[in-house]
Structure 1
Amino acid sequence: MPNPKASATPGAGGCTIKCAMTHRNEGQRMVTRAKSVCRHAGCGVLVDVSGHCDKHAAIYQKAVDARRGSASERGYNRRWQKARETFLNRSPLCVQCDREGVVQAAQVVDHIVAHKGDAALFWDTSNWQSLCKPHHDRKTATADGGFGRTSAA
């Protein structure tokens, strides 16, 4: 009996999605998304993922890095490394995973409220929480406006 959830939409070479999945497992190419144009003004290079072509990605990253400053300039120096290590030893589990009923080791000490250069808030341990990297990355990308980007609010 045919699977009613399998799409009959033709993919590469006239295959259905189910057929394409089988081919992928056999080492053949699966249908991919359309390429997009590099986001740099005036550049028409097609890229596999949304963003910038190789040439403009490097330029864009340099501009982001210059705006942010180095980790050391942002306060993440040897003193921070020691404080971070002590905090993770005392609070070794991800607090977000714990809320979800999962036991997961934390790798990151997160500032609950973004310090934005405020030294007092940066060093306030009541503003710290232990997070696993996936939860920290998700929080940074949503609450703080992203990795090195300023939030819209």
Structure 2
Amino acid sequence: MAKLKTISPLVDTIKPLVGRAKGEKARDHHRRQTQPWRAWYNTSRWERLRRQAFERDMYICQRSGEICAGTGNDPNSPVANHVTPHHGDASLFWDLNNIETVTKRIHDSLIQSEERRAAAEGQWGA
């Protein structure tokens, strides 16, 4: 009796077409692919603009009154928040009057929940 040979599959496995990969790196990659304006955050122009906002606001959170003295991912590190979400609108993105200083804690909790709620209600789009 002859041995059976293994036959290589004719169809490669493919990535799932529904949803996307889990994790922060995958989320960032997806956002860079679907939102090209995210590259604006990596420019020296953005660094200058956010520093201007921090200095104008004297590194004080405009929502809580807390001093933004942290660095990196500290809850009290300063974040330049767009008051009106820009969703790729360059005039809103680069407008110093549309940027406020907030702590990372406020940005990652209160402001993000406000934006999710507004998007769900259709106020700012997706």
Match of 2:62 in 1: 95
Is the alpha carbon distance of 1:78 and 1:123 closer, same or farther for their aligned partners in structure 2, counting shifts above 3 Å?
Answer: same
TM-score, normalised with respect to structure 2: 0.58
Match of 2:79 in 1: 108
Gaps of 5+ in 2: 1-15, 69-76
TM-score, normalised with respect to structure 1: 0.49
Match of 1:57 in 2: 22
Gaps of 5+ in 1: 1-39, 43-51
Alignment identity in percent?
Answer: 22
Match of 1:81 in 2: 47
Is the alpha carbon distance of 1:41 and 1:143 closer, same or farther for their aligned partners in structure 2, counting shifts above 3 Å?
Answer: same
Work out whether residues 32 and 38 of structure 2, in 8 Å CA contact, stay in contact via their aligned partners in 1.
no
- Higher RCO (CA 8 Å, separation ≥ 6 residues): 2
Deviation at 1:140, TM superposition (A): 4.2
Match of 1:67 in 2: 34
Aligned residue type for 1:57: K
Please report the RMSD computed on the Cα atoms of aligned residues, expressed in angstroms.
3.3
1:2-151 matches, within 5 Å, as 56-58=21-23, 61=27, 62-69=29-36, 71-72=38-39, 75-76=40-41, 77-91=43-57, 92-98=59-65, 103-105=66-68, 107-145=78-116, 151=119
